[in-house]
Structure 1
Amino acid sequence: MHGRIKGEAAFRRYVARASDELRQANYTVSAVDLIVTPTRTVEEVILSTDGPKGRVDLPIAIVTDRGPGGLVEIRMYFSTWPITGEHAIRPPLLQHDPNVHEKGAVGDYQRALAAGDLAATLAAFEPQATVREPAGGEYTHTGTAELTELYTLFFSNGGGIPLEHCTVPDDGRACALEYNVTQWGRAAMPPEAGVAVYVRGASGKLIAARIYDDSNPPLHRPDPSFAGCVL
């Protein structure tokens, strides 16, 4: 919402401005999950603030690159849907890296997603897995029946959702994928940045997926209440 901030002086101004805005909105922060690797951290939180129509719960993912001297870059991902009721295109933050590959069920899921293969997509999840869209709250789907309905809708535009993979921090328990979405089924889309977090269950399959982007997908049977996401 504030664009790209670079340099200490600009960062200090951003922190001061953002902090004032949050205090005025009576904010609270709830922790969701944390992935830590030697060079990168992915933190998930729910930011609750007062909005024009009442209290708003906003899922946010914060990806931090670390170096020997400290923090190198912080990338924040969230949907504007809970705030404004509309989507906002976020240009790519990272370049596609063809050397990025996901392990196990995460990789199986990404291949199925790109192919638009419903059966293979569902097979990557445990039976009671949960998928949460970027808007959070009511846009959370649990169990095979709900995921079948969700992915049938996602694949309704004549194909899968191939993503440009950028980074994949993985601590063994959970994996995050920073990506760019450029295509949804038959439709080309404006390149947009996002991140998804995948948590493995006891079986090795996915027990949870949480998505942070602001895509407005070209669905064959669009639902006006659908908040949109890329998974």
Structure 2
Amino acid sequence: MPWFPDFVSAAELARRQSLPYEPEDPVTRYLSALSDGSPHALEAAWPGRIVVHDPRAGEVTGHRELRRFVATNQEWLRARHARIETVSSTADGSCAAVELLARLEISGTAVAWPVAVVAEATDRYSLDLRTYCSQVVVDGRRHRRAPLLGPGAVPPDGVVGRYLAGLEAGDVDEVVATFAEDGYLREAVGEPDVHRGEDGLRSFYSRLLGTGDGVALECCHATDDGVRCVVEYNDVSTRGEWPPQAGLAVFERADDGRIAAVRCYDDIERPAAGRPS
């Protein structure tokens, strides 16, 4: 788990944003190795630093670990008859984020699993890959995930900044006002946990923020192409009683400048009953 064949699209987007594209360079050979599943090509294709941050495997570093990780994931996906669809791609500077929907067979049942991958190219030979998802879909459990990144990114301005500020303040009216008329929030587990329109959004955020406590998302990194803003964050709203946890949210803007959609990718739990993530 998950999606190494689909790291290709994220990695290539990051590559093209950050460095001149050369058809025979090591990045291209690396992407080909991922596509055809040849572990022997990996060391030659990517001689520099590559690190994968995976929700289940943790941090995967070095060519030997990487080859083992690729082989294990390909076997896992094949056993579940996985089909992967790309939902969106967002590139900005040296980073690219790709939203994916994996269709799997789990214990004879067809399920759809939302997954997001961020690829950050640090130089010609080095790449960081960070995967975000909820594991509830595949094993019925939430898994606490320690922060992958530290704070430091400037919070996005405009409507995304208003949303985050309203969320932290626990202001239901302000949060709902940031959405377009038919805007929606999709929780990390995907369908059917989608809350659409003013009534649906107000019901959800009233439950989430009903105690008067805000939800503080510490912005770590933002990838923004003007249409979508992808925010990697640490949820620090329960600091002291619940450890900070890593997550990602995609904010898609409507034509009128408000939020058309928020899609979440995390496994975050909160201690207070009735406050879904």
Q: TM-score, normalised by structure 1?
A: 0.91
Residue 171 of structure 1: aligned partner: 225
Deviations along 1:97-116, one digit per CA (max 9) or x if unpaired, are: 1x422021000000000000
Q: Is the 8 A contact 1:36 1:42 kept in 2?
A: yes
2:263 to 210, 216, 219: 210
CA distance, structure 1, for counterparts of residue 99 and residue 85 of structure 2: 9
5+ residue gaps, structure 1, are 223-227
Match of 2:196 among 142, 156, 168: 142
Secondary structure in 2 aligned to 1:183? coil
Q: Which amino acid aligns with 1:144?
A: E
Question: Residue 237 of structure 2 aligns with which residue?
Answer: 183
Moved over 6 A (4+): none
Counterpart of 1:130 (choices 170, 184, 193) is 184
**Aligned AA (2:195):** H
- Give the TM-score of the pair, scaled to structure 2: 0.77
Q: Show the counterpart of 1:121.
A: 175
The aligned amino acid for 2:245 is E
Aligned AA for 2:75? Answer: D
Whether the aligned pair in 2 keeps the contact of 1:187 and 1:218 (CA below 8 Å) is: no
Q: Shift in Å at residue 137 of structure 1? A: 0.8
Counterpart amino acid of 1:178? E
Structure 2 unaligned regions, length at least 5? 1-55
Q: Distance in 1 between matches of 2:125 and 2:192?
A: 38
Q: Please state which structure has a larger fraction of its residues in helix.
A: 2
1:112 to 166, 179, 183: 166
Structure 1 residues 127-154: Cα deviation after superposition (integer angstroms, max 9, x where no partner)? 1101100000100111010000000000
Change beyond 3 A, Cα 1:25–1:71: farther
SS for the counterpart of 1:134 is: coil
Task: Work out which of the residue numbers 143, 146, 153 in structure 1 matches 2:207.
Answer: 153
Looking at structure 2, the residues matched to 221 and 176 of structure 1 have their Cα atoms a distance apart, in angstroms, of 27
In our comparison, the structure showing a higher alpha carbon Rg is: 2
- Counterpart in the other structure of 2:84: 29
Residue 187 of structure 1, CA deviation: 7.5
Aligned-residue offset at 1:220: 4.6
Displacement, 1:37? 1.1
Q: Aligned AA for 2:144?
A: I
| Number of residue pairs matched by the alignment | 222
Counting strand residues as a fraction of each chain, which structure ranks higher? Answer: 1
Question: Which whole-Å CA distance do the structure 2 matches of 1:136 and 1:151 have between them?
Answer: 17
Q: Look up the match of 1:7.
A: 62
1:90 paired with 2:169, answer no
Contact 2:208 2:274 in 1 (8 A): no
- RMSD, aligned α-carbons: 1.6
